[in-house]
Amino acid sequence: MPDSHPSTHHGQSHIRMPMTPRTVSLPLDRTTNLTTFPPPPSPSPSPSPPAAAVSVVPSSAPVTPLPPLTSFPPPLPALGDAPPEAATNAVLVQSVAIPPEWKEREVKGIDFNDFAGRDVTVPELIKGMTKMGFQSSNVARACEIIDDMRTWRDPETNTPATIFLGYTSNLISSGLRETIRYLVQHKHVSAIVTTAGGIEEDIIKCLAPTYLGSFSLDGATLRSQGLNRIGNLLVPNNNYCSFEDWVMPILDTILAEQQASRNDPRIAEEDKLVWTPSSIIARLGKEINDESSVLYWAWKNDIPIFCPALTDGSLGDMLYFHSFRASPARIIVDIVSDIRRINTLAVRAKASGMVILGGGVVKHHIANANLMRNGAEWTVIVNVAGEFDGSDAGARPDEAVSWGKIKPAGRGGRGAVKVYSEATIVFPMIVAATWASHREDGEGVEKGKDRKEAEQVLANSPASSTTTRGG
């Protein structure tokens, strides 16, 4: 049968296959060129060579055997009796000689076996946290700094340090309000900076309670029920209605007193009544007349409360509504007088301490006042903010040093620390271990004096008359 050959049928090409398969015998002593498929890749950058030939070799050619399976992969070379020098040098780096004074810095926690058979006091707990590390050591350091600032006395006048306390509104909404009230009630602080919520929430709690809720409660459901959520706290909206009912008549009186003063020709222009945020706040503290209130004790003890953001809250809402109610008359609030007042407190202080809970306006307003005296001697900051975003809330004390708001160590600074913690967790412990501690060992109020004697010294000191009541 002849080989198949192409032929054409009606303009189409087709192949005619042989009817009987043929066996092709290749002599073993010659090479037959067969085109390989697929063709091998051509090396680059040389031009493509002709198709490679397949060589058919005689069956008698020697064949190299494959290696046994046990030799793949090949065995690792022997390492010898010693580890590699590079690994040794990397892992076993020698330390410098440890200074002898580091003996006092050995990490060690509280051993509750030392208190077997009795309760552990808060000061003992804090002392046991001093060398524990992380934020526990910062809490203990905060207590040391507060003890130093609150017991310091000017060697010439015996005047105590001026202590600025700052806190955000959420802390008044929380149960930390009672801790803050304690400090103000017993004159442990000289001046306060807070936000509008820190004012109104204190008043509102005198009118109606705030309740524990949950962080996970649905916002839309709460809105339909007239319940406002602050973290895991719930404030019925009726509370703010009660606040409106209470505050509006007081705003009427404040406006009437302002108008009467301005219209009285017998009063010199410089003596006419001018309301400031701090004087309005003092008036609210006087009017609420409730010993559970921070504002009440601040008014009673002549401790000014500054609020540069007075309108940023429900109190601002009330001032807004009142401006329509009293139109065209309007309450005029002078903020410049307050900035003069807080800055003057800082400038005239024999020594200054800052205790700041939270961040934002309360933190910066206090720090900026202390810039006027080239920095505070003591600083304790408690919040959870990080500094990666450049916020003032997240800034560590060292950043404030760069601005002149905190004195550095060696140049008048006596201690600064930031405790990274939510304030309701640690601040009650800090207060219990410092201001509220009844120790008589000299680590507290004054050596050789008990709490009542120390408070009498504070009441009779020149600092007790350095502030004036607003309103």
Q: How far apart are CA 196 and CA 342, in angstroms?
A: 17
Three-class SS of residue 25? coil
Is the distance from CB of 363 to CB of 195 less than 8 angstroms? no
Residue-by-residue DSSP string for 270-311: GGS--B-HHHHHHHHHHHH--TT-HHHHHHHTT--EE-TTTT
Judge residue 252's burial from the number of C-beta atoms within 10 Å of its C-beta, 0-12 exposed, 13-18 middle, 19 or more buried: middle
State the alpha helices, DSSP H only, in 152-195. 169-173, 177-185
User: Six-digit token pair at 365?
Assistant: 């307003």
Cis peptide before 328 (omega within 30 of 0): yes
Residues with Cβ within 8 Å of 38's Cβ and at least 6 positions away in sequence, in order, are none
From start to end of 152-291, where are the E strands?
A: 162-167, 191-193, 211-212, 227-230, 233-236
Q: How far apart are CA 202 and CA 177, in angstroms?
A: 8
Q: What are phi and psi of 48, to 5 degrees?
A: -65, 130
- Strand-pair category, 211-212 with 233-236: antiparallel
Residues with Cβ within 8 Å of 324's Cβ and at least 6 positions away in sequence, in order, are none
Catalogue the active-site residues.
405
Three-class SS of residue 349? coil
Q: Which residue has the tokens 């009293």?
A: 326
Q: Which residue has the tokens 């329509």?
A: 324
